[in-house]
């Protein structure tokens, strides 16, 4: 039986499913059907990465789902078209939350400014990037996540990505019919991305400023402030992940040959 639409929250390759945990809980409380794939197992191996990521996310979609809304944060934004193209059901919406825009034919490294690319190279050790929380002074994360226990759990969940991921070109995907797209800008760092989205005709918004707004209040201390990507659904499929995170249990992306 087809139960309707499922919201798929895709975490940044630099982070973990925990970055969506409060959002998943809030959307579930609003009776949306939500799943949060864990990309870390797929991204921990050898290239090629992107095709395996797209397939792995597609495999976690419920068999009774009729359509999907994909929501990507940060680096996951560039993955959304490829994921949409691999899904067994239509993606009716792509929501970019402080996220990179698609850069088909170009690698992550090539999409960065010269300064940021040089900084990324300086971080690489033995072919891997250290956990994202070590890329900047400790007080930056302390300000973003004042709760010490949450901050420690967040740090412990972060992956060490292979450098090869930064140099793999993003595949070009043509979606027909094209899903609706929207951009949610949460921080000034993504002003340029939000402006580009608006120039392309996408709706681009800042989050609701009302602290009583249900979703935003529920996830106020989450590393990712939540959107409401809309979508009708019923129920949330809690699933066991590689390492349980607070609030919800992420769905693991299956390992494949070469990973």
Alpha helices in the chain (DSSP H): 21-29, 40-43, 50-58, 80-86, 108-111, 114-123, 138-144, 148-156, 164-167, 191-199, 214-218
Ramachandran assignment for 231, one of left (phi > 0), alpha (psi -120 to 50 degrees), beta (any other): left
Reference 43, options 255, 257, 243; nearest CA is 255
Rg of the chain (C-alpha set) = 17
Rounded to whole angstroms, the Cα distance separating 129 from 119 reads: 11
Q: Which of 239, 228, 248 is nearest to 60 (CA)?
A: 239
**Domains, the chain, ranges and CATH?**
4-252 (3.40.50.1820)
| Nearest of 153, 166, 171 to residue 250 by alpha carbon | 153
**According to the model, what pLDDT value does residue 227 have?**
36
CB neighbour list of residue 112: distance below 8 Å, 6 or more residues apart: 120
pLDDT tens sequence across 55-75 = 999 999 988 899 999 999 999
Neighbouring-strand partners of residue 163: none
The token pair at 12 is 């940044």
Say what the pLDDT of residue 208 is. Answer: 54
Q: Note down pLDDT in tens along the chain; length 259 residues.
A: 446 889 999 999 999 999 999 899 999 999 899 999 999 999 998 999 999 999 999 999 988 899 999 999 999 999 999 999 999 999 999 999 999 999 999 999 999 999 999 999 999 999 999 999 999 899 988 988 899 998 999 999 999 999 999 999 999 999 988 999 999 999 888 999 999 999 999 999 876 544 333 333 333 333 343 333 333 333 333 333 333 222 333 444 443 333 3
CA distances from 122 to 52, 112, 184, 188 (A): 27, 14, 31, 25
Residue of 66, 72, 69 whose CA lies nearest to 89: 66
Q: Six-digit token pair at 159?
A: 């992956």
How confident is the model at residue 240, as a pLDDT? 31
Give the pLDDT of residue 243.
Answer: 32
Confidence at residue 19, expressed as pLDDT on a 0 to 100 scale: 92
């Amino acid at each position: 039986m087809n139960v309707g639409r499922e919201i798929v929250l895709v975490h940044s390759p630099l982070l973990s499913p925990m970055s969506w945990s409060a959002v998943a809980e809030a959307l579930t409380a609003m009776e949306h059907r939500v799943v949060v794939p864990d990309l870390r197992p797929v991204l921990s191996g050898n290239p090629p990465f992107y095709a395996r990521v797209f397939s792995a996310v597609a495999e976690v979609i419920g068999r009774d789902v009729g359509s999907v809304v994909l929501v990507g944060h940060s680096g996951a934004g560039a993955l959304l078209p490829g994921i949409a193209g691999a899904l067994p059901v239509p993606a009716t919406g792509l929501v970019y939350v402080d996220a990179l825009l698609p850069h088909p034919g170009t690698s992550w490294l090539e999409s960065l400014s010269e300064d940021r690319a040089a900084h990324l190279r300086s971080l690489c050790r033995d072919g891997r990037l250290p956990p994202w929380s070590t890329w900047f002074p400790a007080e930056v994360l302390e300000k973003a996540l004042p709760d010490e226990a949450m901050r420690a759990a967040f740090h412990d969940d972060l992956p060490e990505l292979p450098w090869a991921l930064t140099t793999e070109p993003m595949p070009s995907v043509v979606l027909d019919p094209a899903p609706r797209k929207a951009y949610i800008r949460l921080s000034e760092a993504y002003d340029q991305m939000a402006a580009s989205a608006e120039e392309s005709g996408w709706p681009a918004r800042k989050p609701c400023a009302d602290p009583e707004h249900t979703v935003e209040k529920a996830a106020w201390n989450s590393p990712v402030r939540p959107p409401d990507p809309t979508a009708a659904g019923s129920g949330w499929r809690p699933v066991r992940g590689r390492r349980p995170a607070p609030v919800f249990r992420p769905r693991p992306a299956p390992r494949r040959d070469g990973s």
